[in-house]
Amino acid sequence: MHANKHHREPAAKGDDQIAFENGISFQNAGRHVTALEWYADVKPTGGRWDIQASSARMSLLIGLKRAEEAVVVGTQALKRMRHYSVSLVNQTSRALNVVQGPLPALNLCRQALRLAAFQQSPHLWFSAAAYASQCNQFGRSLRYLKSFFDCCEASFGGDLFSDFDFAPLWQHLLCETLTDEEIAALRTLATHHHRSLVAGLRCPLSYESIGHVPPGLRRFLCLNLATMTWMPRPNATRAQQATFQTWYDAVRQEARQSFEHAVSKALAIHTATSGECA
């Protein structure tokens, strides 16, 4: 299959592990087509190397605008998965979102989150909350955010306020009358330690955000296919980097103000009881 095989170490490794590691090596070198071939060499056993290779393969396929193929890879891998993999569910839902829209992606996340093995994953709650926002299911999005914060660690690589998937939620919270369900979810977020955690989250732009970035900024951004995030190219000028940072901070601040406004409104309607801190 490969004209020039990557060097194989004589160590006692299985062929699947070697194929996966070669895929990583070629991906890191920017040789994406060759990396995809190596990932595809991993046998479809449903085991560790198969699932890791399938996840990495989907990430590359999405970044290369071959999301339809990624959906097929993910759907098949989920059927044979022998050990629960958050990455596999996340990448498959991301591919579904690109090809079919947010509702199938949300449904896949909801199906996974019914299983106890997935319920302590902040990444999956975060994804589900974002898809629920895109589907205008704002009460559900807020509930999922509450679950996200309940199991989130400070090192989590997500940012509610620069991920465009959450834009419908922030607009809704800013402009619409809140339902009792939304007020309850916001109040839960605000009356614990979550507000400071929300304020501190920062990361590069998600893959899905690029369509909403001004064209003048998009031309000097590059996609990291390992993390599926956008950042200024290494050769971007200081002026370009500063322009991007200014835009990024403005988007984040606007979304954060919408959230804070909604929290204030919810707490004014339902005053916190003694022992809670807003």
CB of 2 closer than 8 Å to CB of 37:
yes
What is the rounded distance in angstroms from the CA atom of residue 53 to the CA atom of residue 20? 6
Residue 152 zone, left/alpha/beta (φ > 0; ψ -120 to 50; rest): beta
Largest CA distance in the chain: 71
The pLDDT tens digits along the chain (278 residues) read 454 444 444 334 579 999 999 999 999 888 999 999 999 999 999 999 999 999 999 999 999 999 999 999 999 999 999 889 999 999 999 999 999 999 999 999 999 999 999 999 999 999 999 999 999 999 999 999 989 888 877 667 678 888 889 999 999 998 888 999 999 888 888 775 556 666 667 777 888 888 889 999 999 999 888 778 888 999 999 999 999 999 999 998 898 888 888 888 887 876 544 443 32
User: Alpha-carbon torsion 61, 62, 67, 71, what sign?
Assistant: positive
**How much is the pLDDT for 78?**
96
What is the rounded distance in angstroms from the CA atom of residue 232 to the CA atom of residue 275? 45
Question: Per CATH, which fold does 1-100 belong to?
Answer: 1.25.40
Domain boundaries of the chain, sorted by first residue: 1-100, 119-278
pTM of the model: 0.85
